[in-house]
Structure 1
Amino acid sequence: MANAVGQPLLGRAVDRFGQTWVMLPAAVTSALGMVLFAVVGLDPLPVAYAAMLIAGLFTPPLEGGLRALWPSVLRREDQVHAAYALDAVAQEVMFAVGPLLVTLSVAVWSEAAALLVINAIGVAGALWVVVSRPSRQWRSAPREAHWLGALRSPGLLVLLGSFFFIGLALGAIAVAAVAYADEHGGGVVSSALLSALGVGALVGGIVYGGRTWPGAPERRLRLLVAALALGYLPLMLVPGVVMMTVLAGVAGVFLAPALACAFVVVDRHAPTGTVTEAFSWLVTTFVVGNAVGTAVAGPAVQLGGVAPGFAVPAAGGVAALAVLLAAQRFLLDRPRPVVRPAVPPTPDEPCAENDRNRAVEPGFRARHQA
């Protein structure tokens, strides 16, 4: 919950003050909170809660910051779209490798040591980004003062509503997979299902990012979410382990492409000067949906069994598509940017975000702003 609150607030601060001046102290503060928790453990409990509150609230909005940074690093629109796809693929790799690294650290050392190791890796990654030249030079475009910030864009609100349900679907799948494994051989089966889901997303993201797709991303997003929702439906059949693993892989194929396309749509619909905050809201909404899906799938499994458990992600996928279709007038297609020769910034010249009104970003021409 602290992370969900902190991400948009820190994202807004990044848009106002730059990446380095916000994310560097945030990363250090969050790390100190995690170190405190690793040292004190659960006793005393109030200190443990305070440590987690600090660690979550000050987690740097690295995902939003990186996605805001891509247009100033890459000079062509197709390169930015490919970077978003690889970003989504990297997330799948992280979600697969992260738990394994934690398990290995606990087995070799201890729970506290695992926390410290993962924390050190996270801080090192954040520092690697925020001290880099592109991050130090990046500046958001001037923004209109508004208390809603990025949330004043109707198109962004529609996207957040849809991806809340996609997050819900993924959280529910994790719970339903464990319930399925309990009936078909234990934890190894659960790991196989989730790994298949990740491999499917990995393959889908690589294929999606490997080519330029025609048409507006808003229309393409509806098609990708429809395919994603369709892939969740067969999971309710709960067949044998081999077929279920295949279905899990198929269900994951359109996840990374949908995420990559959503990143493009966020960039096109975020109000000027709020792009980091907008991406941070997407992360927050997705994480909250994931938590809700976990909470809903548990009772569904207890009351009805494995099939109703997998009905929750199916319902989440359908709901995500329904939001996009019902409110598609708010996600109107935006004019495609016109690419022009890029002029690299001088060492003393800060890089501005891809500003749709002023065209301050090399390689992109101004377009209508949501």
Structure 2
Amino acid sequence: MAAGHAGYLEILRAKHAVRLLVGTLVGRLPNAVAPIAIVLFVRAEGGTYSLAGALAAVYGVANAIGQPVLGRLVDLYGQPRVQLPAVVASALATAVFAFAGTDPLPLACAAVVAAGLFTPPLEGGLRALWPSVLSREDQVHTAYAMDAVAQEVMFTVGPLLVTLCVSLWSAQAALLVLNAVGVLGALSVVVSPPSRAWRSAPREAHWLGALRSPGLLALLATFLFVGIAMGSIAVAAVSYADDHGGDAVYGWLMAALGLGALVGGMVYGARSWPGVPERRLRVLVALLAVCYLPLASMPGVVAMTALAALAGVFLAPCIACAFVIVDRHAPRGTVTEAFSWLVTTFSVGASVGTGLAGPVVQAGGALWGFAVPSAAGAVSLLVLLATGRVLAAPAVGAVVAASSENDPNRAAEPRFSSGDRA
């Protein structure tokens, strides 16, 4: 474990690594807090919960569409030429929404759509940059785990920042301030030397882009159901909390999930794992599904909080392992798009899980609500088992690293082959 911690420090000491990691996390803050920020703002404007939920959903759909589209453009034209105008457009659209409010409604909808659609694909962009910043493939894989852990921190801290801004100023100020901070984070990444120098590997022209890879499609199908599990847990936890103490209990359960993922990701990334990542992902997804099962026992609050932490332990390792598999299966020259598709699929799955768990909880209570994530986890494992042969054959010509025009270490071919064992 000490060697693993040394590995984390080794990554953080790499030139530009801290700037890229922190800048990406801060730059993604507006996207992470958008649903709750939109809901609070609409309610402050006198809108109904139905309208607030609808606008938050509109943002989510627009974001799900925009990420892979912008990711493909990044692969074609480079990061600054796409990410910079995208972040400015998204921030301006958010400002229009914040100042115009919900009346007229068509303008509010158009602003929310634009804000989601032009959210820059910083997450996929960072994963494309790691191989040009780090010198060894094992460091890249550790960076993926560290990235997954950092996301858990962001999605835990983000909502707290929104509520803090609302309490100190207003819901409108929360939208404006957090988006301004996000722009600064994105700019820090986009104008950095690695981002400006990065170029995607040459690609074969194909209208499907990254989606022409059967292995990537199998991975996306798997993470659709992992997303469903995560979305459904949030709804079931609300129902449990209503009967065991209210909002404070719900906060503890969500914090425990995040803490479990944080610990699991740190432990997973602290060592090197033998064997191919596809086989490892099957084990991790199976453990994820099994750890959801005890939630249906619905014990007291203290025990339930501990079970929630256990349920989160294998999430970050699953995500980190998936990043490595994306590298192995993304067709050459589509790495940013491929990572963006993973983000989109997981987000869509979470939205589906939220929508699915609502009627289930309404009909059968929290008990049946907690059965949904276990079922979704089991289906994701079945998808992995059914597509084992497809996943066992990495894409021909897929690469982890893309070339950098100004990189003094640049060679004719990328430094890492996606077919290498993880």
Q: Which residue of structure 2 lines up, in the alignment, with residue 21 of structure 1?
A: 81
Q: Per-residue deviation at 1:202?
A: 0.3
Q: Which residue of structure 2 lines up, in the alignment, with residue 142 of structure 1?
A: 202
User: TM-score normalized by structure 1?
Assistant: 0.93
Q: Which residue of structure 1 lines up, in the alignment, with residue 6 of structure 2?
A: none
Contact 2:215 2:393 in 1 (8 A): no
Query: Can you list the C-alpha shifts for 1:196-239, whole angstroms capped at 9, x where unaligned?
Result: 00000000010111111111111111111111111111111111
Number of equivalences: 355
Q: Per-residue deviation at 1:121?
A: 1.7
> Which secondary structure state, in structure 2, belongs to the residue aligned with residue 244 of structure 1?
helix
The 1:365–1:277 alpha-carbon spacing in structure 2 relative to 1, beyond 3 Å, is closer
Q: Per-residue deviation at 1:361?
A: 2.5
Contact 1:5 1:57 in 2 (8 A): yes
Unaligned 5+ residue runs, structure 2?
A: 1-60
User: TM-score normalized by structure 2?
Assistant: 0.81
1:214 to 261, 274, 296: 274
Q: Which residue of structure 1 lines up, in the alignment, with residue 304 of structure 2?
A: 244
Query: Can you list the C-alpha shifts for 1:229-287, whole angstroms capped at 9, x where unaligned?
Result: 11111111111111111110001000000000000000110000000000000000000
The 1:366–1:221 alpha-carbon spacing in structure 2 relative to 1, beyond 3 Å, is closer
- Cα separation, 2, equivalents of 1:128 and 1:22: 15
Q: Which residue of structure 2 lines up, in the alignment, with residue 46 of structure 1?
A: 106
- Cα separation, 2, equivalents of 1:304 and 1:240: 19
- Cα separation, 2, equivalents of 1:361 and 1:24: 26
Contact 2:199 2:404 in 1 (8 A): no
Contact 1:33 1:51 in 2 (8 A): yes
- Cα separation, 2, equivalents of 1:279 and 1:270: 9
> Which secondary structure state, in structure 1, belongs to the residue aligned with residue 261 of structure 2?
helix
The 1:327–1:264 alpha-carbon spacing in structure 2 relative to 1, beyond 3 Å, is same
- Cα separation, 2, equivalents of 1:257 and 1:169: 15
- Cα separation, 2, equivalents of 1:209 and 1:312: 29
Query: Is residue 77 from structure 1 mapped to residue 137 from structure 2 by the alignment?
Result: yes
Q: Which residue of structure 2 lines up, in the alignment, with residue 117 of structure 1?
A: 177
Query: Which aligned segments of 4 or more residues in structure 1 are displaced greater than 6 angstroms?
Result: none
238-247 or 268-277, which moves further after superposition? 238-247
2:414 to 350, 361, 366: 361
Query: Can you list the C-alpha shifts for 1:346-370, whole angstroms capped at 9, x where unaligned?
Result: 8x34998xxxxx97223x25758xx
- Cα separation, 2, equivalents of 1:334 and 1:58: 31
- Cα separation, 1, equivalents of 2:219 and 2:418: 23
2:216 to 149, 156, 180: 156
Aligned residues with identical type, % of pairs: 68
Q: Which residue of structure 1 lines up, in the alignment, with residue 9 of structure 2?
A: none
Q: Which residue of structure 1 lines up, in the alignment, with residue 12 of structure 2?
A: none
Contact 1:30 1:57 in 2 (8 A): yes
1:129 to 189, 192, 204: 189
- Cα separation, 1, equivalents of 2:180 and 2:314: 32
C-alpha RMSD of the superposition: 2.0
> Which secondary structure state, in structure 2, belongs to the residue aligned with residue 305 of structure 1?
helix
The 1:192–1:329 alpha-carbon spacing in structure 2 relative to 1, beyond 3 Å, is same
Q: Which amino acid aligns with 1:309?
A: G
Unaligned 5+ residue runs, structure 1?
A: 353-357
Contact 1:359 1:366 in 2 (8 A): no
- Cα separation, 2, equivalents of 1:18 and 1:66: 13
- Cα separation, 2, equivalents of 1:334 and 1:53: 36
Q: Which residue of structure 1 lines up, in the alignment, with residue 156 of structure 2?
A: 96
